[in-house]
Structures are given as structure tokens and as C-alpha cells.
Structure 1
Amino acid sequence: MLDLNDIALFVHVVRSGSFAGAARRLGVPANTVSRRVQELEKNLGTRLLQRSTRSLTLTSAGEEFNSRCAGAVAGLIEAGQDLSSESQEPSGLVRVAAPADFLDLFVMEWIAEFLATYPKVRLALVLSDSKADLIEDRIDVAFRGGLLEDSEYIGRQVLSAGNDGLVASPGYLAARGAPSTLQDLQEHDCVTFVQSGIGHVTWRMAKPDGIEEAVQVAPRFAGNTAQALRKATLAGLGVTLLPRAILMKDLQAGRLVPVMPEYQRPGHGLNVLYPSRRHLAPAVSAFIDLVVAKVGELDATLTPLRP
């Protein structure tokens, strides 16, 4: 089998007009260049260069071989140079996997700002609450809530865990009254994540003294995304338990109100995952930096749930 490096050496020799010239260009000893070209001729079974003490000339076979290989070698060199120069500037497609409600936290204006800053970057968002396989799905970076369980990936937290809290709409509480103990929730309509069927769901929460309590609630409505639960709660379908980041705007606007805010459940925040720390593309690094910065600013404004 032909060694492509030997073919490239031969093309460089032809361009330079001598073994010494090619050796200087490539930074290798001249005798190494000569030996590798001889090895190429041996593998081809034909002489490519006529050598004399003063010059090198191409044989007819050498002329034909060079004409067919020179363009390909030049293309490979150009491709490498282009990739090297592009590696200094964010460019190319970045595939991002994120929870279905990611754009409720990370607003589209920030993405527009990112793409304006890096005009050579293209962005593809894959939004789903199911966990993407970064390798199989060709994902460059993923954002996930919950505990980091993928030990084969590099991960770090970009939004602090904080606490999850109970909320309901003012209309629901006016009609049904506000629960005063965690066990009172058994008599209320609740909005929960889908589990196996729509049977009872256990909520485990703690008071400021750290003592944990558990209550089994029967969901009136269950969904598979945080936004489905939020919208159901806004529509007055019951009490829900969600992270503070999702609830903050509705609480500030009075669309939702805290329910028994003394009860809190430790949250898991938002984490960023990527397949490997080595050779992380500049466009991917730039997008991670943007998310860390923007979500960090948001994180600083979030406060615990209060009545």
C-alpha cells in the first residue's frame, strides 16, 4: 500500500527541484527525503526521478504521476491551512441539546446576539426533555437539569441548584382554599410530572429545620415537561412543585403565588455537558461561555420563594 506521506514528499521535491530544497521546506533531513522517494518508487515499481550530481529530472512516469497527485496534495495542504485558520475564529455548525423549556430560561435575543457576534457560526437547537446521546446524536453540547449521571462526559453546573417550591394560581386558591400542611395536599388537585400511569406521586420536602416530610398526591393533570406543568397551573388545574427559575416571572407578575413556602425541595439546577474537554471547537466554547455568563446573571437575580 502506498504511503500518502511519501507521495506528498515526492510532490514537494518536484516543486522544489531538489531533495535539499524539499528538505528545507519540510524541516527534515535531505537523506530522509531521498530515502522516502526511493521507497515510493519501489512500491510503484517504476522510476519517477532521474538523479545526477547536479539536477533532478522527471521521467515520463514521474511527470504523469506528479500531474495526477500535485493537485490533490495542494488541496490537502490548503484544507489543513483553512482549518487551522478557522480554528482561531468560531465557525461552523454547533448542535445543542437542551430541555424543552430551555428558551424560556435562555431567551432568543441572547442567541441572536451570539450569532451576530460570530457570523460564521450556525446553531441547531434540539429541544427535548429526553436525554440525548451526545455521540450517537452528534451533539456538540447539551444542557440538562437534574443530577449529572453521564460519567463519560465532561460536565459542570451553570445554574445553581436552589430550591423547588409549591405554587398555584390565585384563582385555584380562591376556589379551593390554601393548604396549611403538607398532608393537606392529599385533598387538593395537583399537577405533576408523568410517572408510570397517572397514579399517586410522592413529593419529599423539608422545612427550614431540615426535617423531611413526604406526601403522596394524586395528580389531576400530569405532563412530561416543566412548561406543561407551569401552563396547567396557570390555568388553575392545581398545585405544582417546580424550580424557582421557571416560576420567578409568574410570581413577580402575580400569575402564581407560593403555597406553604416554608416547604422546599432541593433542586438540581442546570448543567452543561460535552463529550470531551480536548479539542473543543471554538464555536462550542464560545456558546458555552455565553450560556454560563447569561445564566449566571439570571441566577444572581433569583430569590427563594416567599409568600
Structure 2
Amino acid sequence: MDQIQSMRMFTRVVEAGSFTKAAESLDIPKGTVTKQIQYLEARLRVKLLNRTTRRVTVTPDGAAYYERTVRLLSDFDDIEASMSNAQSRPSGRLRVDVGASIARLLVIPQLHTFFERFPDIQLDLGVSDRPVDLIADNVDCVIRGGELTEQSLVARRIGGVELITVATPGYLAQHGTPAHPTELEKGHRLINYFSSRTGRQFPHLFERGEEHLEILGAYQLAVNESNALTTAVLAGLGVTQVARFGLQQHLDNGTLVRVLPDWGHPPIPLHVVYPPNRHLSAKVRAFVDWATELLGRAPYLQAR
């Protein structure tokens, strides 16, 4: 059996945490992965993985072998790339994840420019506000908003998302226009946003000069997806804070009204993120550079 292929399968099992996920990400039968790992263990005469019916864990020998294998495979990929035309003409399958509203409003409408520049790249675009596990899900890179909590990932900051507080004219006619953020805690309906991962409700943040407020008022609706948030506020269901880059047309035609314009929201940092132990191939670098250029000139995505 091919030794390099066995090593690649082993690293995918470690990163995915199961034989099934590894096989799915490599698009091969699970039995093939199992046989390759058995071959590898027999050849090395060490146990690399502990297997149970529910999970796969790495043995101490397996962990040491994984660290060296990842470096070796990265060097191997570098050699392959340097001896081919991959750097000048990136090609192959690329798995990217992007937040829902950024994908719908900014990335997908401009993808034709990416494919014109890189016609040999096949893009698998995951669209969701739910954070993915880049390693376990075999994702090459993501465009992610918010503070980064996974310190092991490599991130390039490409801007900051400006959020504004809005409502429909009909809602404000019925409930009144608030003059201060604290008025949203009584007599108003907020549309909240909650974490897909934890279910935690995010407070509405307001800042003006040295004043900083967090508002978690009464709500009848909370959503966990940015496009749904925009749809809900357009339906007149309450007051909420939404990324401005997707709202300007509604502000211009009067279907939405900005509320509390003297109060801002701290910009949400926007990053392109990829795993540190994954070779930054020509195709990944091509997308990262293209996305950085695209979003860097998008309106209401602050450069700093």
C-alpha cells in the first residue's frame, strides 16, 4: 500500500476524530481507511489509535507520529507545488465556509470574478452562521465574524462589520421611536440573535463617547442566522441591530429607519481563518487573497 496515502488517511482520522468522518472527507469507503491504518500500525509495530464504538483517540505514540507526519506532508506538498505549475495556475477542490449574509450579499455575487481568474478551482462553499470545526470538517478556510477564541488557528483580519439599530416605520408608528437605548427595555420588542453553538442570547450593544451599554430587553423572536434577522426586522417584528452592508438599500427607500443614530455598535472584526497545520496551497492562497481584496473595498466593512 502507498505509504504517503496511509499517512494522509491517518492525519485525517486524527483531525476528524472518527473513521467515518475521515472517509467522508476523503470521499472513500470507511473500510479503505480502516485497512490503511491497520497497515500503518503493522508496518510501524506500534498502536497509533485507540478505537471504541463511540470515538477514536490518539495514543502517545500516535500523537508523536501525527506531529511529525503533518510536517512531512506539508514539506511534500511544497515540493510537489514547486515542481509543477500549481503556483501560477491554482487548481483542485477547495472547501470554504462563509457567514450567511456575507455570502449572499458580497461573496456569491462576485464569485464570477474569482472563477475568471482561477478557472481550474472547484469551490465547495458552505453557507451558515454556525461556526465550523475547520480541522474535523476538513475545511480549508472560513470567513468569520467575531472575536477569535481558537488560538491555534491562523487568521488574517480583513475588516470590521458595522452594525446599526433599525426598525420599520410601521413598527415605530405603533411603539414610538426610542430616544435612549434604555427605552428598548420597556415598551419595545427586540429581535434577538442567539448563538447556534451555545444558544446564548447576544445583548444589543451601544456606545457613545465613554458610555457603553448592554441591552437585553423583552423579545418575542430570536434567530440564529443573519439573513433571517434582516427578514424579521423588515417584517416589522421589532427593533434589532443588523450589519449595515446589507441594509443600505432599505434605508434609502424608507422601508427601514435607523434608530438611535447617535449611538454606535462596536465593529465586529472580520477574519479569513485557516488551520496552521494545513499547507497553505496555491488554491487556498488564491481564495484568501481574492476575498481580502473583495471585502477590503466593500462599503461599511471598516478597514481597521
Asked if Structure 1 and Structure 2 have the same fold, meaning a TM-score greater than 0.5 normalized by the shorter chain, the answer is yes
Return the alpha-carbon distance in structure 2 between the equivalents of residues 151 and 199 of structure 1: 21
Is 2:291 the partner of 1:284? no
Alpha carbons 1:102, 1:127 under 8 Å: kept:
no
Rg bigger for which structure?
1
Return the alpha-carbon distance in structure 2 between the equivalents of residues 198 and 115 of structure 1: 37
CA gap of 1:200–1:134, structure 2 versus 1, over 3 A, is: closer
Partner residue of 2:171? 172
Per-residue deviation at 1:302? 6.9
Per-residue deviation at 1:301? 7.7
Return the alpha-carbon distance in structure 2 between the equivalents of residues 269 and 210 of structure 1: 20
Secondary structure of the residue that 1:126 maps to in structure 2? strand
Secondary structure of the residue that 2:100 maps to in structure 1? coil
Partner residue of 1:158? 158
Alpha carbons 1:201, 1:218 under 8 Å: kept:
no
Alpha carbons 1:97, 1:141 under 8 Å: kept:
yes
Letter in 1 for 2:213: E
Per-residue deviation at 1:250? 2.3
Alpha carbons 1:245, 1:302 under 8 Å: kept:
no
Return the alpha-carbon distance in structure 2 between the equivalents of residues 195 and 302 of structure 1: 24
Alpha carbons 1:165, 1:264 under 8 Å: kept:
yes
Partner residue of 2:106? 106
Q: Report how many aligned residue pairs link the two structures.
A: 225
Is 2:260 the partner of 1:242? no
Letter in 1 for 2:183: D
CA gap of 1:81–1:270, structure 2 versus 1, over 3 A, is: closer
CA deviation vs aligned residue, 1:160-184 (integer Å, no higher than 9, x gap): 244x221101221122221112121
Partner residue of 2:148? 148
Per-residue deviation at 1:228? 0.9
Letter in 2 for 1:255: T
CA deviation vs aligned residue, 1:89-146 (integer Å, no higher than 9, x gap): 2100110011122323324231122112211111011112121111111111111110
Partner residue of 2:181? 182
Secondary structure of the residue that 1:269 maps to in structure 2? strand
The aligned runs of 1:75-94 (5 Å cut-off) are: 84-94=84-94
Return the alpha-carbon distance in structure 2 between the equivalents of residues 198 and 130 of structure 1: 11
Per-residue deviation at 1:202? 3.8
Alpha carbons 2:164, 2:242 under 8 Å: kept:
yes
CA gap of 1:241–1:92, structure 2 versus 1, over 3 A, is: same
Secondary structure of the residue that 2:216 maps to in structure 1? strand
Alpha carbons 2:194, 2:201 under 8 Å: kept:
no
Return the alpha-carbon distance in structure 1 between the equivalents of residues 201 and 136 of structure 2: 35
Secondary structure of the residue that 1:106 maps to in structure 2? helix
CA gap of 1:210–1:80, structure 2 versus 1, over 3 A, is: closer
The aligned runs of 1:203-214 (5 Å cut-off) are: 203-207=204-208, 209-214=209-214
CA gap of 1:199–1:149, structure 2 versus 1, over 3 A, is: closer
Partner residue of 1:137? 137
Secondary structure of the residue that 1:265 maps to in structure 2? coil
Return the alpha-carbon distance in structure 2 between the equivalents of residues 128 and 122 of structure 1: 19
Per-residue deviation at 1:83? 6.6
Letter in 2 for 1:184: E
CA deviation vs aligned residue, 1:267-302 (integer Å, no higher than 9, x gap): 213211011387411111111111111111114687
Secondary structure of the residue that 1:102 maps to in structure 2? helix
Letter in 1 for 2:142: A
Structure 1 segments of 4 or more deviating over 4 A? Answer: 79-83, 195-201, 300-303
Return the alpha-carbon distance in structure 1 between the equivalents of residues 114 and 170 of structure 2: 40
CA gap of 1:299–1:235, structure 2 versus 1, over 3 A, is: same
Return the alpha-carbon distance in structure 1 between the equivalents of residues 207 and 88 of structure 2: 50
CA gap of 1:82–1:292, structure 2 versus 1, over 3 A, is: closer
After TM superposition, the structure 1 stretch with the greater mean CA deviation from structure 2, 284-293 or 212-221, is 212-221
Secondary structure of the residue that 1:241 maps to in structure 2? strand
Identity of aligned residues (%): 32
Is 2:257 the partner of 1:257? yes
Return the alpha-carbon distance in structure 2 between the equivalents of residues 151 and 102 of structure 1: 23
CA gap of 1:254–1:210, structure 2 versus 1, over 3 A, is: same
